[in-house]
Chains A and B, each alone.
Chain A
């Protein structure tokens, strides 16, 4: 049992020290601040014209956000919103939405 706990904690340390590992929890917090107004924290409003993100492919979400950020994909609204996101934010947000059941 002790050994198990030790292994788990080691794993956790190595997991969290990896700067590229995305966190769905951090993604949820960021999504609540940045994305949920339009796309919903789970689903967009039944009345909203915005696409749902739940269960979308993680790489697609990351790529889209990066393109919005560097303006290779044009959108009045998304270019502004994505401009404030770091690489880590983008990974976390994608991780969060991709894990949601659509």
Chain B
């Protein structure tokens, strides 16, 4: 009940200026407290600027005309089939009532400043001398590629349940948990040194994690939110991008010191100059570069990792870009474009668009999946929209850049998984009804759905173990476990309990698969 105590104290504090001055001071001070309460309970999902993030925007415009009673009960009970938890007994009734008033009277806030100065101030060092850390894993494991990291959100997106959970994908046992303050969102592995991983949270904090001793050694807050993070092939640089504010930054991967900040703006495909959210950021085995998608500007920037970090801008990639994956030894980049339902292939060598390929409705390619089938390099693209009930997974031949098939699936999808040694491509059905409990498996050869697995919870983010023998899936939201299947027989092999698991990231991916590297590495 700490929140309640704080609130009472702050109410007391608020009443002091009331005695000294006029009522308007009280109103200001009151809204300041409400903003604090908002920051501590709502902002990591709904956005510090009230502009929305994983969850809808909550401001005077978006909530206009909504019944305060209905909003109050929604906050109390949470919203089923979403990540919205119940705040009953966590916030007092008067806090919930005041919050509804606060939300319905607060406009979307301007982009706050969060520059290199603020970032530097936020740098925290948990382990002073990294050279004194154990030089090998402090647990039994055959290869660090067997490590799978799961972003456990925790029901409230913060606090005790929010952690990066690391699992040995051969034994399915947890080998370490690293608390992350707010919900872990993305886990990147250092391709050059297997001991380091980087975890980005919903509040845009980046943790440098020592996988040998399973602890965070440093952290830095790079913005207010936004999922983008990539690592260079030499493991020396990280690039991290934000939705709020509209910038990206290159960090020294060893110290997390910020090196250069980029303001994200440009002319969109319709000729308008816009300030832009950061979409995906990706390092590639092909060259010492980062590629970053500017969501609203529809551009992809290629940043050379040399003196001054010069930028090549590729324009007119699409309308509202989001995520991407690599193919052909990291030379080809496939970028999803939400609003025109295409995936644009970019050649990172010539830094030009190869072709715009038709996708399904609102392509969201997740970690991407590329796999060789009968001599062809096939890319599988998930689509999370549900236009006209026509839900498909797109299959492209990435050698010729042609559509092979739009495979019908039972709902919207947001994340595929494929592996050279596994017969099926797994996709997560996210349509918000009973279908959300399931994932579907597409046969690599017949390109048809051959099996639907009832995983439970909100099943999403399938991922194969490095050897391709096991399929990991998060039974997310209230499912509270990661479920492991045998990749061939599809029999349930293990359940690993944790609070609201989401993204699953295999370290094997840096070697075998698509995000960061491509399947060519298998050869």
Q: Which residues of A contact B (CB under 8 A)?
A: 32-33, 36-38, 40-43, 45-50, 76-77, 80-81
Contact = CB atoms under 8 A, between A and B. Distances in A.
Contact of A47 (B156, B456, B479): B156
A43 B478 CA distance: 10
B88 A45 contact: no
Given A32-B456, A37-B86, A47-B154, A42 B480 contact: yes
Given A47-B154, A50-B89, 10 more contacts: A32-B478, A32-B479, A36-B478, A38-B78, A40-B480, A41-B478, A45-B155, A45-B156, A45-B160, A77-B86
Contacts of B139: none
Contact of B85 (A42, A45, A77): A45
B59 to A, nearest CB: 25
Interface in B483-521: 497, 499-500
A41 B480 CA distance: 7
Contact of A33 (B76, B80, B159, B497): B80
Contacts of A80: 77
A81 to B, nearest CB: 8
Given A41-B478, A77-B77, A47 B88 contact: no
Interface in B73-101: 76-78, 80, 85-86, 88-90
A49 B160 contact: no
6 residue pairs, one from A and one from B, having the closest CB atoms: A45-B155, A46-B160, A36-B478, A47-B159, A49-B89, A47-B156
A32 B80 CA distance: 10
Q: Which one of A32, A36, A43, A45 has the highest number of Cβ atoms from chain B below 10 Å of its Cβ?
A: A45
A46 B154 contact: yes
Nearest to A28: B456
B161 interface: yes
A81 B161 CA distance: 25
B230 interface: no
Contacts of B481: 42
B412 interface: no
A32 B85 CA distance: 14
B385 interface: no
A42 B85 CA distance: 16
B457 interface: yes
Contacts of B155: 45, 47-48
Interface residues of B, number: 25
Task: Name B's interface SS.
Answer: loop
B86 A41 contact: no
A38 B76 CA distance: 10
Interface of B: 76-78, 80, 85-86, 88-90, 154-156, 158-161, 456-457, 478-481, 497, 499-500
A45 B154 CA distance: 7
A98 B221 CA distance: 44
Given A32-B456, A46-B499, A77-B76, A38 B480 contact: no
Contact of B497 (A38, A42, A76): A42
Q: Which one of B89, B158, B457 has the highest number of Cβ atoms from chain A below 10 Å of its Cβ?
A: B89
A94 to B, nearest CB: 19
Contacts of B154: 45-47
23 contacts: A36-B480, A37-B77, A37-B80, A38-B78, A41-B457, A41-B478, A41-B480, A42-B497, A43-B480, A45-B154, A45-B161, A46-B154, A46-B159, A46-B160, A47-B154, A47-B161, A48-B86, A48-B155, A48-B156, A49-B90, A50-B86, A77-B76, A77-B77
A7 to B, nearest CB: 29
B85 A48 contact: yes
B480 A37 contact: no
A41 B477 CA distance: 10
Contacts of B478: 32, 36-37, 40-41
Nearest to A80: B77
Contacts of B500: 45
Contacts of A50: 86, 89
A91 to B, nearest CB: 22
Q: Which one of A46, A50, A81 has the highest number of Cβ atoms from chain B below 10 Å of its Cβ?
A: A46
A50 B89 CA distance: 8
A46 B456 CA distance: 21
A48 B155 CA distance: 8
Given A45-B155, A77-B77, A37 B497 contact: no
A76 B93 CA distance: 11
A73 to B, nearest CB: 16
A58 to B, nearest CB: 22
B86 A38 contact: yes
B161 A46 contact: yes
A45 B153 CA distance: 11
Nearest to A75: B88
A38 B88 contact: yes
A49 B500 CA distance: 17
Contact of A41 (B76, B85, B88, B479): B479
A50 B480 CA distance: 16
Contacts of A46: 154, 159-161, 499
A53 B160 CA distance: 20
B78 A45 contact: no
